[in-house]
Amino acid sequence: MTSAPISDDQSLAIAQASRECEIKLNGPAHVLRNLKTHPAFANAIVKPRAVNLRAVYFDTAEGDLARNALSLRIRKAGRRRTMNVKWASKGEGAFTRGESEVAISSELPDLTLLAPEAAAHIGRTTKGAGLQPVFKTSVRRKLMEIVDGQSIIEIAFDEGKLIAGASSEPVSEIEIELKSGPQAPIYALALQLIDAGLRLAPATKSARGYLLGAGVKPQDMRAAPVSLPADASMEDALVAMIEASLSHFMANWPGLLVSDLPEAIHQMRVALRRLRAGLKMFARALPGAGLAPFRDQARDIASALGQAREIDAFVDLVQAGPLTQFENDASFEALLAHAQTQRSNAYEVARACVNDAKTSRFVLELQAYCAQRGWRNALAADDLASLSQPLRTFAAQALNDLDKRVKKRGKRLRKLNPEDRHELRIALKNMRYGADFLCLAFNDARAINAFLKRAAALQNDLGVYNDSIAACEVAAAIEREAGPAAAYAAGRIEGWCARGAHASDDHLRKAFKAFRDAPRFWR
C-alpha cells in the first residue's frame, strides 16, 4: 500500500525508532474528570488542552500483528495525520515499548516511511501479507505536561470508544508518558493516581481493539522467553527476570477480569511463583538488596488467587477421574454444584485482588525499584561489585545451590509425608525456574532442553500427587458444607485420590532418581 509523498524534511525528522515509557491507568469517567484538579497537576507547564483523535488500526487477515504484540495505526488529529507502529521491547519492562511514528498524507499505510527497525518488525511478522482495517478509535483527549525535577511527563486523559463493525467498547483511561529525563517521577505520579482511585490498565487500546475486531475474548498468556546479550552481568539477569515476570503476570489480567479463564489465573500464579523463585535466588547472593518485601507481596497476591486455582484443579480431577465412573450419580451432581458455587466466590475474590490498589502498587513499586536499580542504594561495596560479575559465574553457583536443595528434599522419597513432598515440589520449581532464567548464560541448547524437559516432567508428577492430596481436602470441606447429599461422592473422590497417590509412588521414585542422576548443563 502506498500514500501520497511527503517532504524529505518532514519524514526524516520523525522516521526514527524510539522507546516509549508509558503507564496506562483506567477508572470510571467521573473519577478521571475529577483528577484534572489533582494536586500532582497543579504545576502543569502546559495547561489542559483538548483534541479529538480518530484512528484506524490495521492488521493482516490472519491477525499476525495482534498475535505478536505489534500495532499499526493511522491517526488523524485536526488536519494532521500520522502513522504509528508500536512493539513489545524485550528486556525493557512492562511499561516500555518500541515506537516509530511518521507523518503521512494517505489513509492507507506506507511502510517505506517507517524507521528501518519498525519496518523490519512489520515485515518479519506479516511476511508480505496485505494489511486491512480492523477497528477504529474515537477519543476525546485532554493533554497536559508537567515537570518533575529533570523529567518532563505528558498526561493524556482519554474518553471515547473502540469500534469494530457493530461492536464497541468504552475507553476511559489516563496515559502517563515520560517525554524525557529519569523514570522515577513517572512511577511516583502513577502511584499518586492509584491512591486517587485509578488502577493499572493491563491491556492497551490496540490490544483491546484487535480482540474486539476479531470478536474474541482475552486469552491466557504463557511466559515469553527472556533475552540477554552474551556479555550479560548478574544485574542484567536480575532486571530481566523481574521485568519478564511482571509482564507475564499483567498479561493475564484481562483473561481473568474479562474471560474468567482458569488458565489465566493459573498463569498469573505461575508468573508470581517464577518471580518469587527468582527474587529468592538473587537474595541469597545479595542479602541486603531489599528484595524480600516484594517477595512477600507476591506471595500474598498468589494466596488470594489460590482458592480459585484449587477449585479449578479439583473440578478437573473429578471430571477426568471418578466422575467417568459415576456420571449420573446425584451425589456427584450435588458436590459439583456446590463446587461451582465455591468457584464463583473464589473468582470474585481473585478479581477483587487484581482490582485492589495494593496489586497495582505492587507492580508499579517493583518496576520502579527495578528501573532505578534500587538495590544499589541498599548494598554494601562488596555486593555492589558482584552485580557486575559475568552471568555465567553467578548462574553456575546459584544452580548448584538450588540443585543441592532438591536432592536433599528428595531423600527417601517414598517415606516422605505429603507436607515434605510439597516442600520437594517447591524446591524443584525454584530450581526449574532458576534454570529457565539462567540457562541463557550457557550454549549447549540440547543439554539445556533435556534438563528443563526432565525437570518439568518431574514437577508435573509431583503436581499430580499434590493435586490428589489437595482434592481429598477439598472434597471433605465440600461434604461438611453440602451435607449428606454430597457425602457419597466425597467418599468416592477421597478413595480414588488415595489410590492414585499410592499407585504413583513407584513411578515418582523412579522419575526422581532419573532426574537426580541426569547431567547438569551448567557443569
pLDDT digits (tens, 9 = 90+) for 262-276: 999 999 999 999 999
pLDDT at residue 189 in the model: 96
The arithmetic mean of pLDDT across residues 8-22, rounded, is 58
pLDDT digits (tens, 9 = 90+) for 380-400: 988 899 999 999 999 999 999
Percent of the chain with pLDDT over 90: 77
Write out the three cell numbers for 358.
495494593
pLDDT digits (tens, 9 = 90+) for 51-65: 999 999 999 999 999
- Percent helix / strand / coil, the chain, rounded to 5: 60, 20, 25
Dihedral, 38, 39, 40, 46 alpha carbons, nearest 10: 80
If one compares 16 and 72, the residue with the highest pLDDT of the two is: 72
Contacts of 320 (CB under 8 A, 6+ apart): none
pLDDT band at 497 (very low <50, low <70, confident <90, very high): confident
Q: How far apart, in Å, do the first and last CA atoms of the chain sit?
A: 53
Q: Which of 188-192, 373-377, 457-461 shows the lowest per-residue confidence on average (mean pLDDT)?
A: 457-461
pLDDT at residue 70 in the model: 95
The arithmetic mean of pLDDT across residues 283-294, rounded, is 95
pLDDT at residue 16 in the model: 64
Instruction: List 56's β-bridge partners, or say none.
Output: 74, 136
Closest CA relative to residue 359, chosen from 484, 249, 240, 205: 249
Q: State the burial class of residue 88 (Cβ atoms within 10 Å of its Cβ: 0-12, 13-18, 19+).
A: middle
pLDDT at residue 510 in the model: 87
pLDDT at residue 6 in the model: 33
The arithmetic mean of pLDDT across residues 212-235, rounded, is 91
Percent of the chain with pLDDT over 70: 96
pLDDT digits (tens, 9 = 90+) for 163-222: 999 999 999 999 999 999 999 999 999 999 999 999 999 899 999 999 999 999 999 999
pLDDT of 1 above 80: no
pLDDT at residue 227 in the model: 83
Tell me the pLDDT of the chain averaged across its residues: 91
Query: CA–CA distance from 437 to each of 95, 498, 517 (Å)?
Result: 21, 36, 22
Q: What is the pTM of this model?
A: 0.92
Amino acid present at 43: N
pLDDT of 91 above 70: no
DSSP class of 196: T
pLDDT at residue 260 in the model: 82
- Taking the C-alpha atoms of residue 204 and residue 184, their distance in angstroms, rounded to an integer, is 22
pLDDT at residue 13 in the model: 37
pLDDT at residue 435 in the model: 96
Q: Where are the domains of the chain?
A: 8-210, 247-517
Closest CA relative to residue 50, chosen from 33, 72, 25: 33
Query: CA–CA distance from 308 to each of 247, 256, 272, 276, 277 (Å)?
Result: 21, 11, 15, 20, 22
pLDDT of 440 above 70: yes
The residue behind cell 481436602 is: 473
pLDDT band at 2 (very low <50, low <70, confident <90, very high): very low
Note whether 99 and 17 are within 8 A (CB). yes
Superfamily of domain 247-517: CHAD domain (1.40.20.10)
pLDDT of 12 above 50: no
Note whether 383 and 286 are within 8 A (CB). yes
Contacts of 249 (CB under 8 A, 6+ apart): 268, 271, 272, 275, 363
pLDDT at residue 365 in the model: 98
The arithmetic mean of pLDDT across residues 146-151, rounded, is 93
pLDDT at residue 92 in the model: 62
pLDDT at residue 465 in the model: 85
pLDDT at residue 15 in the model: 53
Q: How many residues does the chain have?
A: 523
Write out the three cell numbers for 503.
499407585
pLDDT at residue 172 in the model: 95
The arithmetic mean of pLDDT across residues 253-260, rounded, is 91
Note whether 134 and 210 are within 8 A (CB). yes
pLDDT of 467 above 90: no
Note whether 186 and 154 are within 8 A (CB). no
Note whether 354 and 348 are within 8 A (CB). no
Domain boundaries 8-210, corresponding CATH code: 2.40.320.10
Which of 10-14, 119-123, 467-471 is modeled with the greatest confidence? 119-123
Note whether 375 and 369 are within 8 A (CB). yes
According to DSSP, the β-strands at 70-77 and 46-59 are antiparallel
pLDDT of 156 above 80: yes
Query: CA–CA distance from 10 to each of 4, 13, 375 (Å)?
Result: 13, 5, 43
According to DSSP, the β-strands at 167-180 and 17-26 are antiparallel
Write out the three cell numbers for 139.
477519543
